[in-house]
Amino acid sequence: MDEMKEKLFYQPKNGYDLIDAKERLALEDYCRRYMAWLDASRTEREAVSQAIKLAEAAGFRPLDPAAGAIGPGQKVYWNNRGKGLLLAVGGKKPMAEGMVVQAAHVDSPRLDLKQRPLFEDSELGYLRTHYYGGVKKYQWTAIPLELHGVVALKDGSTVDVVIGREPSDPQLTVTDLLPHLAADQMQKTMAKGVEGEKLCILAGSVPYAGEGSDRVKLALMSILNDRYGITEADFISAELEAVPAFDVRELGLDRSMIGAYGQDDRVCAFAELAAILETDAPERTAVCILADKEEIGSVGVSGMRSQDFEWFVEKLCGGTCTAQDCFSNSFCVSADVTAALDPMYPEVSEKQNAARLNYGVGFCKYTGSRGKSGANDAPAELVAKLRRICDEAGVVWQMCELGKVDQGGGGTVAGFMADRDIDTIDAGVPVLSMHAPFEVTSKLDCYMTYKCMKAAYEAK
């Protein structure tokens, strides 16, 4: 009977029962590289600039829009306003026969400074924020924060800001009530316990010498002016993001996991980046997308709905075919994280179809919510193709669904790729504590996602 079961049943296995000692070394080596990149990539802009560094070192050059169709083995990239990145390696087949596209996003939930952030109350200085993406607001209080971003000046120049990353730097925080005085707060729902307008960052306390009002605010503005040459009006044209000041760390007594901010979706972004940097002569042109703005609906010029992608592909085609001809023969892996089964909260998952830590890269045929609404429902034929590619390459993978039916749901860039007439499937790393300031992944799943991306680029 066991033989019959072995033959007829589908039984996913824990990845650690499937890999050998050699692969464990490769896994550790890959995760070290991922962790180093993630540690230096705390915003979408930093992720893009760090990715460009690696790409340049691997022989990629900025796309020359006038150069004509991409040639076999040619490696180019396009920096979309410092916030999105498109990379390509020319295939042996012409663009008309389609590309293998992999699309991840490099923006993550965070606290953005408002355009007029600075104020003083009771002789303490604060920065007002408007959160970005889906956050549980209470998680963003009472943790160390650092500030990253740019201030664009009227003269056309920009000033890079990083405060709190260096050990010698000061850090920031949003305060929370002490339990002794939180009786009323604790009666509220978790959604209302900490309100958005209360997510103000404590920024300083020493008054400027002399008489008058707003002396702490003045002292803080004076510090920023000394360090960055900016005035209060310059915040108006700034993008400053407060992000958790946690280092990227190995997690667990057995070091089997990674704990870090921003793994959704930089963990998949690095997987496809690492894969394309090692791709030299693919059959079909390989394209790697690091998109911005996924967490707020893939909007804007740097989001996946932007025509920037059409423009890029048109240049790769160089007049040999239309971008649309190319799209219809392409396939895309929408590389985004998925929810891992959390044994502390099993009630939100349906165990048979939930992703598990260490079971490898998770394929999602569909995401969405309430009857798959808003999902890209990947064609069965494409799911079969990815099964074959991964099985042939020894990738540990699992089929999964984001949460129980009617429990909630989510989306990725997959729908926007499919809108372009590109066959698209979601595949990515299962995450615990997704969207929290400190997210958890398994090293094995990170590595297998990279291996999946590499196999997809190399597929015939």
CB of 100 or CB of 339, closer to Mn ion: 339
CB 290 within 8 A of CB 279: no
CB 455 within 8 A of CB 393: yes
| Pairing assessment for the beta strands 75-80 and 61-62 based on DSSP bridges | parallel
Neighbours of 379 (CB within 10 A): 15
- Of 336, 423, 426, 458, the residue at the interface with Mn ion (CB under 5 A) is 336
In the block, residue with structure tokens 């690696």: 54
CB of 298 or CB of 398, closer to Mn ion: 298
Stretch that binds Mn ion, among 84-92, 329-337, 371-379, 390-398 (CB under 5 A): 329-337
| Shortest spacing between CB 295 and Mn ion, in angstroms | 5
CA atoms within a 13 Å half-sphere pointing along the CA-CB vector of 72: 7
Beta-carbon contacts of 135 under 8 Å, excluding residues fewer than 6 positions away, are 109, 435
Compute φ and ψ for 241, nearest 5 degrees. -120, 125
Among candidate residues 88, 11, 85, 26, the one with its CA nearest the CA of residue 314: 88
CB 439 within 8 A of CB 432: yes
Handedness of CA 172, 174, 178, 179 (dihedral sign): negative
CB of 41 or CB of 285, closer to Mn ion: 41
CA 454-83-447 angle, 5° bins? 25
Stretch that binds Mn ion, among 11-19, 218-226, 335-343, 445-453 (CB under 5 A): 335-343
CB of 165 or CB of 293, closer to Mn ion: 293
| Shortest spacing between CB 88 and Mn ion, in angstroms | 22
Examine residue 107 and tell whether it contacts Mn ion (CB under 5 A): no
| Shortest spacing between CB 292 and Mn ion, in angstroms | 12
Stretch that binds Mn ion, among 191-199, 274-282, 332-340, 381-389 (CB under 5 A): 332-340
Stretch that binds Mn ion, among 45-53, 313-321, 330-338, 394-402 (CB under 5 A): 330-338
| Shortest spacing between CB 226 and Mn ion, in angstroms | 37
| Shortest spacing between CB 337 and Mn ion, in angstroms | 5
CB of 323 or CB of 375, closer to Mn ion: 375
CB under 8 A, 24+ apart: contacts of 415-418? 415/374, 415/375, 415/376, 416/298, 416/304, 416/305, 417/101, 417/103, 417/304, 417/332, 417/334, 417/376, 418/332, 418/376
| Shortest spacing between CB 27 and Mn ion, in angstroms | 23
CB of 44 or CB of 264, closer to Mn ion: 264
CB 261 within 8 A of CB 438: yes
| Shortest spacing between CB 335 and Mn ion, in angstroms | 9
Going edge to edge, which strands form the sheet with 75-80? 61-62, 75-80, 84-89, 285-291, 99-105, 331-335, 423-428, 361-364, 397-399
| Shortest spacing between CB 9 and Mn ion, in angstroms | 32
| Shortest spacing between CB 18 and Mn ion, in angstroms | 26
Beta bridge partners of 105: 291
CB of 151 or CB of 335, closer to Mn ion: 335
CB of 89 or CB of 414, closer to Mn ion: 414
Tokens at 188, concatenated? 């509220």
| Shortest spacing between CB 409 and Mn ion, in angstroms | 12
Distance CA 176, CA 199 (A): 9
User: Within positions 251 to 270, which residues make up the interface with Mn ion, using CB under 5 A?
Assistant: 264-265
Q: State the number of binding residues for Mn ion (CB under 5 A).
A: 3
Q: Where do the H-state alpha helices sit in 301-377? A: 308-317, 323-328
CB of 173 or CB of 369, closer to Mn ion: 369
| Shortest spacing between CB 184 and Mn ion, in angstroms | 32
- Binding-residue pattern over the window 264 to 303 for Mn ion, x denoting contact by CB under 5 A: xx--------------------------------------
Number of residue whose CB is nearest Mn ion: 265
| Shortest spacing between CB 265 and Mn ion, in angstroms | 4
Beta-carbon contacts of 98 under 8 Å, excluding residues fewer than 6 positions away, are 284, 326, 327, 328, 329, 330, 331
Distance CA 460, CA 388 (A): 11
Neighbours of 168 (CB within 10 A): 5
CB of 113 or CB of 436, closer to Mn ion: 436
CB of 126 or CB of 416, closer to Mn ion: 416
CB of 104 or CB of 200, closer to Mn ion: 104
Query: Using CB under 5 A as the criterion, which residues of the chain lie in contact with Mn ion when the complex forms?
Result: 264-265, 336
